[in-house]
Every structure is written in C-alpha cells, then in structure tokens.
C-alpha cells in the first residue's frame, strides 16, 4: 500500500450545501479548511506529492474527490456518481485524472458508481452496491478490474442504513487485514468474503472509526477513538489521528478526501 501521489480538492465556501444524511449540525467553514489543510499536510508528511485542485462552488461535495474515480496502479476508471448533484464532478476532475492515466475508462449509463463504494484489498476488490452504486455500475468496474488481473466481489449494503458507502464501514489496511464495522462483520451473508483475512472489528458505538486509510507506513484514523487506535497498535499498525468533525457532518470520512496512487 505504497502511494507517492494524491489528488485533493479544496473545500468550497458553500461546502455546507452538500448532501448529508446525518444531523450533526452545520460545518464551520474555517474548521473545514483547517481540517482539510491538516489532512493534506499529513499526506505530504508521509511522502505524497499532491495535485491540489481549486475549490469548485458548482459542486459543494467536490472535495470528496474519491467518489469521482477509482485508481489502481495500472488503470483508472472515472465514475458516474449516484447522486444527481455530483454527476458533474467527474468531467471537472477528468483532465487531472487523464494527465496521469491517459487511457482512463468511464462508467456509463445506466451504471452508477461512487468511488467510496470500492474497497481495494490487495489483488481483490470489494464492490459495494449501495444507494449510490448500482449493480450495473459495479459490473462495469468488475470487468475493468478483471482486465487488469484483479478479482472482485459484490457486497450489497443497501439494507445497512447507518452507512452511505461501503468504505464507511470497511477498510483494507494492508498485511492481509480488514477493519470492519461490527454490523458488517456480524452479517452472515458476508462471512465467506471476509474468510482468510485478519479482521479488526470496530464496535458499533464507534463505527465512524472504521473509515480509516493505510498510507505508506501509517493508518490515518479519525480523532477521538482511542480504543480503536489501541486495537490498531495492538495489531502492529501505526495510527495517525486527524480531526474529521466537520467532514463527518456531511457524511465524509478520511478516504473520500483524496485519490491516492
Ligand atoms: C455525499 O453525500 O456524496 C457527500 N456529502 C459525502 C461523500 C463521502 N464520500 C465517501 O465516503 N467516499
């Protein structure tokens, strides 16, 4: 899980006009910008060179760049987000993605897919089918990944109302280890997909912590979950906590703020 680059986008002044399903209050713009800057600084501190896109007020959710593309070491797929208000984010970021991946593919209608539903786990990808990513979108990506030699399997989370995207509840942090929120880890229909991995279960009361990101030798985690940090440390990982309070108000987590490659 070595990354040398990431694409990020500065939050726009109307960030609070984005979509949300939670009721944690209105994000404070100064804190949004400070938390985003700290996140970018953390990536740079881990050795990543950032492509920093300007704020785009046409799309209040556009700082969540992860949803607009799926990048692997070999190829890129531009997505087709499931929320109508986010569709235009893809053409806005496409030139940047294509500057690194000239042959980037594109999810086409009637497929929809948000990058936040796609969890890379080594040579396997978990494809979340959610209220944003439909089976057709997942199928298009599965073919694209198969052509690169990756396997994939679908995890249907449409019955899980507490999460927006698959990666709100699961993260692959390297060393054959999956971090999985309790509700997902306990669901018998997913058991066979998780067999063979070491699983770190995130208790339901702190399930927001499940959206963590392995970046080089650290695991970025949301600040405020010391028991989860201990779980990671006990398992041999090195957490790096970042304040995510304002992004959480808009259903955002650590993974969605960057496209890493
Ligand atoms: C949305 O509802 O689309 C944004 N407010 C949050 C997107 C978060 N993205 C992600 O988890 N990958």
Q: Active site includes 40?
A: no
The pair of structure tokens assigned to 255 is: 């993974």
pLDDT tier, 144 (very low <50, low <70, confident <90, very high otherwise): very high
pLDDT in tens, 148-165: 999 999 999 999 989 999
Residue whose CB lies within 8 A of the most ligand 1 atoms, among 164, 166, 211, 249, for a mutation test: 164
- Going from the Cα of 246 to the center of ligand 1, the distance in angstroms, rounded, reads 13
Query: Is residue 241 within a helix (H) or strand (E), and if so which, with residue range?
Result: strand 239-242
Q: pTM for the complete prediction?
A: 0.97
Sign of CA dihedral 187, 191, 194, 197: positive
CATH class (in words) of the domain with range 5-260: alpha beta
Report how far residue 221's alpha carbon sits from residue 213's, in angstroms, rounded to the nearest whole number. Answer: 7
85 Cβ inside 6 Å of ligand 1: no
Q: Report residue 134 as tokens.
A: 């439909």
What proportion of the chain, given as a percentage, has pLDDT over 90? 99
Per-residue pLDDT tens over the stretch 59-99: 999 999 999 999 999 999 999 999 999 999 999 999 999 99
Q: Which of 116, 54, 61 is CA-nearest to residue 84? A: 61
């Amino acid at each position: 899980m070595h990354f040398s680059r990431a694409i990020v986008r500065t939050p726009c002044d109307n960030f609070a006009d984005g979509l949300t399903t939670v009721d944690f209050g209105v994000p404070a713009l100064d804190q949004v910008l400070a938390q985003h800057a700290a996140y970018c600084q953390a990536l740079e501190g881990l050795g990543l060179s950032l492509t920093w896109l300007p704020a785009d007020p046409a799309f209040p959710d556009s700082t969540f760049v992860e949803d607009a593309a799926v990048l692997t070491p070999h190829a890129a797929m531009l997505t087709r987000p499931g929320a109508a208000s986010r569709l235009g984010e893809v053409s806005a970021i496409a030139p940047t993605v294509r500057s690194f991946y000239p042959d980037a593919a594109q999810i086409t209608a009637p497929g929809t897919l948000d990058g936040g539903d796609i969890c890379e786990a080594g040579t396997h990808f978990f494809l979340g089918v959610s209220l944003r990513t439909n089976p057709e979108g997942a199928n298009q990506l599965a073919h694209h990944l198969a052509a690169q030699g990756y396997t994939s399997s679908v995890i249907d989370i449409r019955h899980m109302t507490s999460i927006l995207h698959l990666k709100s509840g699961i993260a692959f942090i390297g060393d054959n280890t999956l971090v999985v929120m309790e509700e997902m880890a306990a669901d018998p229909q997913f058991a066979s997909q998780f067999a063979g991995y070491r699983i770190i279960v995130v208790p339901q009361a702190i399930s927001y912590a499940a959206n963590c990101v392995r970046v080089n030798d650290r695991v970025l985690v949301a600040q405020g979950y010391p028991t989860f940090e201990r779980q990671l440390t006990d398992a041999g990982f090195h957490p790096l906590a970042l304040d995510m309070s304002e992004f959480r108000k808009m259903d955002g987590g650590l993974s969605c703020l960057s496209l890493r490659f």
